[in-house]
Amino acid sequence: MSDDADGDEILTPDEAFARLGNETRVEILRCLGEAGRPLQFSELHARTDVQDSGQFNYHLRKLVGQFVHKTEEGYMLSRMGRRVVEAVLSGAVTDTPSLERTQVDEPCEYCGAPIEVTWTEGSVRMFCTECPGQFGRAFDGGTGTDAEVGYLGRLPLPAAGVQDRTPAELLHAARIAGTLEVYALSAGVCPRCSGTVERDISVCKDHDVDGGLCENCQSRHAVGVSFQCTNCIYKAGGGPGLGVITDTALLAFLIDHGYNPIAGESMTEVNRVHQKYDEEIISLDPLRVELTFHLDDDSLSLTLDEQLRVLE
Ligand SMILES: [Zn+2]
Ligand SMILES: [Zn+2]
Ligand SMILES: [Zn+2]
């Protein structure tokens, strides 16, 4: 701990987290967040369950500086205080809803059989009920683990997103949240901390998808891309389509066909276009890959280099 020029305490991240290890303090932050405006001491105190004003004052003072600002209008959340309340209310910290695998009225992109969705650990996971799916391994922010048969990928959705939604609505919400996350990733910005994201491209040299998934790379596509934030621990991965999702020509292709590529009713279709493309490796050194996206009876081909830049 040290002091800055204004006398406010500067806490290390460990100290900052330790400050939150108390129900009353989290309650104070939540009350300030729900108020949506600065609150005077007595008003803030009245909104909490703490009777003793000395106790209340003690905990409030522990929050001032890092999590709460004291202004002339009253106490208000700092940026970091807001982040804490957002995390608490998203269910990221404590809630553990669950959704068993449930069939939704939507066909698998590869075989047309119905798909199933499930929610665990902050993600919606999709599975085909008949074919091997899209990936044999699940990329869950680490090195990857063997996926259940039929795995079609996952979309991030905080626990709060599960509440009051049917499985179909939940999938739609996850597609919107997930697509927005991928747009940031594709543009090189970490969706969690806004740090710089690095990409790594891998090519399966012995690709064979006769049985649905390649035994060698455990995927339908020979070219894979992984993203890693240079600041926080965020990681993600998938096909190279993820890397070109913000390409102007691809956005225009969707819009020209009447599809809203960000948040419309057609997110299922938009997702299908992003994921189910043809891939042709034109050369390995230097790497040149042609991706062809399909929509209605039309198609769009993009040639990418080893950095996933679209070539003219
Ligand atoms: Zn299938
Ligand atoms: Zn392969
Ligand atoms: Zn990050």
How far is residue 52's CA from residue 11's CA, in Å, rounded to a whole number? Answer: 27
On the question of pLDDT at 230 being above 90, the answer is yes
> In a 3-state reduction of DSSP, which class is residue 24?
helix
Closest C-alpha among 180, 191, 267 to residue 227 = 191
pLDDT of residue 140: 59
Contact 102, 117 (CB under 8 A): yes
Chain region(s) in the chain for CATH 1.10.10.10:
2-89
Q: How far is the CA of 204 from the centre of ligand 2 (A)?
A: 5
- Give me the amino acid identity at 17: F
pLDDT at 162: 87
Distance 50 CA to ligand 1 centre (A): 55
| Cβ burial, residue 251 (10 Å; 0-12/13-18/19+) | middle
Q: Average per-residue pLDDT in the chain?
A: 86
- Which ligand sits nearest to residue 233's alpha carbon? 3
Q: Residue 5's pLDDT band (boundaries 50, 70, 90)? A: very low
Residues 154 and 123: beta-carbon distance below 8 Å: yes
104 vs 243: CA distance, rounded Å: 28
For residue 215, the CA-to-ligand 1 centroid distance in Å is 17
| Proximal ligand: closest to the CA of 192 | 3
Phi/psi at 22 (5° precision): -160, 130
- For residue 52, how far is its CA from the centre of ligand 2 (angstroms)? 65
Q: Choose among 65, 59, 72: nearest CA to 31.
A: 59
Instruction: Give the distance (Å) from ligand 1 centre to CA of residue 99.
Output: 21
Ligand 3 centroid distance, CA of 226 (Å): 14
Residue 302 CA, ligand 2 centroid: distance in Å:
21
H or E element in which residue 151 lies: strand 151-156
- Give 215-239 as a 3 state SS string: CCCCECCCEEEEEEECCCCCEEEEC
Lowest mean pLDDT among 25-29, 57-61, 187-191, 243-247: 243-247
Give the alpha-carbon dihedral of 270, 274, 279, 285, to 10 degrees: 150
Nearest listed ligand to the Cα of residue 181 = 3
Tokens representing residue 16 in the block:
């900052």
Which ligand has the shortest distance to the CA of 115?
Answer: 1
The torsion of the CA quartet 44, 46, 48, 49, rounded to 10 degrees, works out to 160
What's the gap in Å between 208 CA and the centre of ligand 1?
A: 18
Q: Which ligand approaches the C-alpha of residue 141 most closely?
A: 3
Please state whether the peptide bond connecting residue 240 to the residue before it is cis, i.e. omega within 30 degrees of 0. no
Query: If you measure from the C-alpha of residue 22 to the centroid of ligand 3, how many angstroms do you get, rounded to a whole number?
Result: 27
User: What percent of the chain shows pLDDT beyond 70?
Assistant: 93
How many CA atoms lie less than 13 Å away from 17 in the CB half-sphere?
Answer: 3
Measure 70 CA to ligand 2 centroid, in angstroms: 58
Residue at 46: amino acid letter: A
Structure tokens at 148: 């259940």
Pick the CATH number of 2-89 from 1.20.1440.120, 1.10.10.10, 3.30.1600.10, 2.30.40.10: 1.10.10.10
> Highest mean pLDDT: which of 9-13, 114-118, 133-137?
114-118
Residue 236 Cα, ligand 2 centroid: separation in angstroms? 19
Contacts of 112 (CB under 8 A, 6+ apart): none
Higher pLDDT, 93 or 165: 165
pLDDT band at 139 (very low <50, low <70, confident <90, very high): low
Query: Which residue type, as a one-letter code, is found at position 247?
Result: D
- The answer to whether 102 touches 125, Cβ cutoff 8 Å, is no
Q: Compute the distance from residue 114 Cα to the ligand 1 centre, in Å.
A: 8
